[in-house]
Amino acid sequence: MPDGGRVLFVDLSSGVSRTDEVDFEGLLGLGGKALGIRLLEKYLSPEVDALGPENVVAITPSLMAAYSLAGANRFGAFTKSPLTGIWLESYCGGTFGGIFTGTGWDAVVVSGAAKEPVHLHIEATGARLLPAADLWGKDTFAVEDELLERLGKRSAVLAIGVGGENLVNVASVMHERAHALGRGGLGAVFGSKKLKAMSATSPSGGRREAGEPFVRIRKEIADLAAKSPIGAGYRDFGTPAVTSLANELGAFPADFFTKGTAPHRSTLEAEGWSEWATREHLPCPPCPMRCRKRLTLTEGPEKGRVIHGAEYEALYSFGGSCLVEHARDIALLSERCNQLGVDTVSAGNLVAAAIKARELGPAGTVSPFAKDAPAAGDVKAIDELLQAIATRSTSLGDALAAGLDDALAALGIPEWSITSKRLDPAGYEPRRLKGMALSNALSVRGACHLRAAFYKPDLQGELEGLDDTTYVETYIDFEDRMMLLDSLTMCRFYRDFMNWERISIAATELHGASVAKADLQALSTETHTRIRHFSLACGLIPADDTVAERFFRVPTDRAPALDRAELERRVRIYWGKRGWGKDGLPR
C-alpha cells in the first residue's frame, strides 16, 4: 500500500458517494486495524450516538488476498459499538474479502442513514444504492440467496437479519450463512442506517506479482497449513477441537460461569460428531485448512437436514452457559442465531442470564418476567427466546436485546455480570486461565480472546512461573503480533505460522521497502494508543481495564477467585510499557 489510498465514502442520508484520497503515511503498507482507527479518526466524532446517523462503518479488505496468501481471504469492519460505546473491530472470512479486494478500493466508509431500506453494492467504478424494502424482515439466508441470484459472477453479499433491523445490541452482519461480523452489535449499526445488505462484484482475480522472499514464505505458510499438526487439527474438527482440552483443564465455562467443566462434555466434543452426522470440510479459498464444517444429520427427527457445525464459542455459550446437552441441538441453535443475525456468544449468555434469574427465584430477582425464562437445557424454549430477542417481541426478549449488563440489571441480578467494558467473554474461564483475565481486562473491544489470542499459551501451560514483568511482556508480544495479523487481515488460525520474520517479509512486500520487527512493534503501540485515545473520548476510563467483580469474589468448582492485586499490578505494568503512564492515560 502506498502512502496514499482511495476511500469510497458513501452517505446514505443523501444517497451520494465520492472518492476520497486519504493519507496512509506511517502504516508501513498495512491496512486492516491500523487503517481502521485512522479512518474512524478522520470520519467519526467519538461522542456521537452509536445508533445515530453520524456513526460510520469502515470496511477494509485484506491486502494479502491479492497475493493469494492462504488465510488472507478476509476483511475487517470498524465502528463505534452500540453495546460497549467504544471502539469496535470485527473480521470475517468467506469469499467477500477477496471479491472486495478485487474492486481496488482501499476502504469503504458508510455514513448517514437511509429513509427506507437499502442495499449498497460496491464495484470498481463506485457504489450503487438499491432499494431493499422487499428484503426487510427477511432472514440473512434468504437475503443472501436472493441477492446472489440478481448479481453477476464473482459477487458476494453481507446481510443483517431481523436482529439488526430491531437494533438488538448484539446483532451481527452475516455472510455465507456461517461467517459473521459478530461481537459488539455491528448488525444494529447497519440496521440503524436502514442498510439491509452490502455486496461487491469484481473481475476474476489474478495473483499479484511478488518478490522472492514473499514467494518463499507464501509457500511455507501454505505447507504449514496443509501439513502441520495444527492445520490437521483444524481440518479434522475445526474450533470444536478445543472443547475436550478446555473441559479437561477446568477452563470450559459451564452453568453461566459457575463451573469449569460441562457434566455432559462427551455429547459436546467434536470427536463424537460422526455418530450423528456426516461432515464436509469447507474452506475460505485458498486456505487448505478447511476448518468450517457442514453437517448432514444422520439421525433424529431432522435426519437429512444440512446445517453448519457449531463453532467452539457456540458450544460454550449454549452447551456450557445454557447447559444444552447435545452438539446437534447447539448447531441448530447456532443456525437460528445466524438466520436472525445475532451473535452466538452473546445470545447464549443472554439466555443463560435469564435461566439463572429463573433459578434464583423471587429471592434473587426483582424482575417480573424472569418466570418467562427457559429452564436450563430446554432447546425448544431457548430457540423461542432467541427469536423473541431478535424481534423484541416479548418483555423478556426486549430486555435481553439491550445486552448482558442491562439485561442482568433488568433481571434483578447485576452482580452476576461477567463482562469487561460491557462485552461478555469467550469460552475460556478467566479464573482458571489467568492470561485470559489479563486479556479480557486489556482488550480494546471488551472481553475478547482474539485480540491477543493469549488463551493459547495459557492452555498449554506456558505462562506458569513467569514473574509479572515477563508475563506482561509475553502478553504484549502476542498482542503486537495479533494486531499485525489484523492489519494484514489474516485468519487467527495462522498465528502460529506468522512469526516475526514472516510478518516482516509480508509488510516489506506491501510497503515496497524494508520493514523490521522494531518498526512493526512501534506501529502496534501507536495503533493501540490511537484506539485508546478514541475510546477514552467515547467515555472509557482506565478503571474499565478490569474484569467483572464476580470473578474476584466467587470461585468456580475448579479454580479459586482471581487475585485482584495481581491483575491490577499486571495492568499497570502494561500501561507503563505502552507508554500510558501509571494512570493509563496516553500523553
CATH code, domain carrying 483: 1.10.599.10
Per-residue tens of pLDDT for the chain, all 587 residues: 566 789 999 999 999 999 999 988 899 999 999 999 999 999 999 999 999 999 999 999 998 999 999 999 999 999 999 999 999 999 999 999 999 999 999 999 999 999 999 999 999 999 999 999 999 999 999 999 999 999 988 999 999 999 999 999 999 999 999 999 999 999 999 999 999 999 999 987 667 899 999 999 999 999 999 999 988 888 888 899 999 999 999 999 999 999 999 999 999 999 999 999 999 998 888 888 888 889 999 998 889 999 999 999 999 999 999 999 999 999 999 999 999 999 999 999 999 999 999 998 865 555 777 888 999 999 999 999 999 999 999 999 999 999 999 999 999 999 999 999 999 999 999 999 999 999 999 999 999 999 999 999 999 999 999 999 999 999 999 999 999 999 999 999 999 999 999 999 999 999 999 999 999 999 999 999 999 999 999 999 999 999 999 999 999 999 999 999 999 999 999 999 999 999 999 98
Q: Which residue has 444429520 as its cell numbers?
A: 297
Give yes or no: residues 327 and 374 share one domain. yes
Backbone angles phi and psi of 158, in degrees to 5 = -115, 140
Give yes or no: residues 163 and 296 share one domain. no
Residue 10 half-sphere exposure toward CB, CA atoms < 13 A: 27
Whether residue 224 lies inside any domain: the answer is no
Give yes or no: residues 412 and 444 share one domain. no
pLDDT of residue 371: 84
pLDDT of residue 368: 79
**Which grid coordinates belong to 358?**
429463573
**Which grid coordinates belong to 117?**
431500506
pLDDT of residue 205: 64
- CA of 228: how far to CAs of 185, 235, 285, 503, in Å? 36, 10, 18, 19
Whether residue 278 lies inside any domain: the answer is yes
Give yes or no: residues 197 and 345 share one domain. no
CA-closest candidate to residue 173, choices 193, 154, 153: 193
Give yes or no: residues 385 and 479 share one domain. no
Give yes or no: residues 271 and 299 share one domain. yes
Q: Is the pTM of this model over 0.85?
A: yes
Give yes or no: residues 49 and 119 share one domain. yes
Beta-bridge mates of residue 6? 21
Instruction: Catalogue the E-assigned strands of 177-235.
Output: 179-181, 195-201
Whether residue 584 lies inside any domain: the answer is no
Phi-psi group of 341: left, alpha or beta (phi > 0 → left; psi -120 to 50 → alpha; rest → beta)? left
Q: Which helix (H) or strand (E) holds 126?
A: strand 126-131
Give yes or no: residues 290 and 341 share one domain. yes
Whether residue 175 lies inside any domain: the answer is yes
pLDDT of residue 144: 98
**Structural domain boundaries, residue 31:** 4-201
- CA of 168: how far to CAs of 343, 351, 398, in Å? 10, 14, 8
Say which CATH number the domain at 168 has.
3.60.9.10
DSSP strand pairing (179-181 vs 173-175): antiparallel
Whether residue 211 lies inside any domain: the answer is no
- Taking the C-alpha atoms of residue 214 and residue 207, their distance in angstroms, rounded to an integer, is 13
pLDDT of residue 153: 87
Give yes or no: residues 324 and 449 share one domain. no
Q: What are the b/e assignments for 317-350, b being 16+ CB within 10 Å? A: bbbbbbbbbbbbbbbbbbbbbbbbbbbbbbbbbb
Q: What is the DSSP letter of 162?
A: H
Backbone angles phi and psi of 94, in degrees to 5 = 95, -160
Give yes or no: residues 339 and 464 share one domain. no
Look at the chain and report how many structural domains it folds into: 3
**Which grid coordinates belong to 478?**
502476542
- Radius of gyration for the alpha carbons in the chain, expressed in angstroms and rounded: 22
Name 363's Cβ contacts closer than 8 Å, sequence gap at least 6.
Answer: none
Q: Of 416, 443, 474, which closes a domain?
A: 416
pLDDT of residue 2: 62
pLDDT of residue 206: 64
- Taking the C-alpha atoms of residue 528 and residue 365, their distance in angstroms, rounded to an integer, is 40
Whether residue 220 lies inside any domain: the answer is no
Whether residue 223 lies inside any domain: the answer is no
Q: Of 374, 390, 416, which closes a domain?
A: 416
Is the CB of residue 236 less than 8 Å from the CB of residue 244?
Answer: no
Q: Which helix (H) or strand (E) holds 35?
A: helix 32-43
pLDDT of residue 363: 57
Give yes or no: residues 521 and 410 share one domain. no
Say which CATH number the domain at 319 has.
1.10.569.10
Q: What is the DSSP string of 512-563?
A: SS---HHHHHHHHHHHHHHHHHHHHHHT--GGGSS--HHHHH---SSSPPP-
Name 254's Cβ contacts closer than 8 Å, sequence gap at least 6.
Answer: 260, 261, 262, 263, 320, 321, 323
Whether residue 497 lies inside any domain: the answer is yes
Give yes or no: residues 183 and 259 share one domain. no
- CA of 429: how far to CAs of 26, 451, 555, in Å? 38, 17, 11
